Amino acid sequence: MDISLTSQQHDSKARRFWQGTIAMMPLSIAVLPWGLLAGSFAIDSGLHPLEGQALSAILFAGSAQLVAMGMIKAGAGLTTMLLTTFFITSRHFLYSVSMRSKVSPLPLRWRLSLGFLLTDELFALVGHQSEKQFDRWYALGAGLSFYLFWNLATFAGILAGSFLPQLNELGLEFAVAATFIAIVVPGIKNLPVLLSVVTALLLSVALHFFKVEGALMIASIGAMATGYLAEELGGKKR
């Protein structure tokens, strides 16, 4: 009886793990061009192939990696790169706060594992789930599969970048925008979120056009402020 029960529990965990993997598959496939770009950028920036792969394996943050490699190529200092990377990835603090009630009851090894695997894509998949809906094995399957896809794509990009120096001129960077569009659009379900997205879009384009430094941070803060004000004003009217 105990053996049968243990077997059923194992099958249930494996099933939920693969359900998470399958649910993440569209985003895993969508990120492949982005990973190729990250790998080729690593070579183009003068990094050793192992260093380029290590960025994806350890840092595991696509936008931060691309920016960091651009700064390496431009000869930026370490402090500047660290601060820039910190600000770019600071949104993960918000993700972690949102996920805290779901993850905090878990053992430390689970909190560390899911914390490392927490990306925009994983948050888009499980961030809206309630505490009852959230399943650690589902989240692990989704996050780990995405991690493997990202690193495999980076490896392919490193190989391609070594033999095709012009790979970064093929327009693969559009995969970055396409991935975030796929993440953001389904989450636009009310006016404050819509206003936040529109504000971020308009500010980022305008500030980039006028070559304003810190455009990304300014657009992000402006979008958050707009969403907050819209939420507050909407609440008062109700």
**Which position has the higher pLDDT, 68 or 104?**
104
Q: Which of 42-51, 62-71, 212-221 has the highest mean pLDDT?
A: 42-51
Q: Copy the structure tokens of residue 124.
A: 């888009």
Question: Does residue 79 surpass a pLDDT of 90?
Answer: no
Cα separation, 195 vs 59, whole angstroms: 31
Cα separation, 42 vs 155, whole angstroms: 10
pLDDT at 114: 96
pLDDT at 3: 56
Confirm if 128 and 99 have CB atoms less than 8 A apart. Answer: no
**Burial class (CB within 10 angstroms; exposed 0-12, middle 13-18, buried 19+) of 178:** middle
The domain spans of the chain are 14-172, 188-237
pLDDT at 238: 59
Question: Does residue 168 surpass a pLDDT of 90?
Answer: no
Cα separation, 124 vs 136, whole angstroms: 15
Q: Which residues are within 8 A (CB) of 19 and not within 5 positions of it... i.e. 6 or more apart? A: 138, 141
* Percent of the chain's residues with pLDDT above 90: 44
Q: What is the chain's mean pLDDT, rounded?
A: 86
Helix (H, G, I), strand (E, B) or coil at 189: coil
Per residue in 102-142, pLDDT (tens digit) is 999 999 999 999 999 999 999 999 998 989 899 999 999 99
Average pLDDT score over residue span 224-231 = 91
Residue where the block lists tokens 């006016």: 191
Average pLDDT score over residue span 161-165 = 73
Cα separation, 187 vs 145, whole angstroms: 22
Nearest alpha carbon to residue 25 among 140, 142, 123 = 142
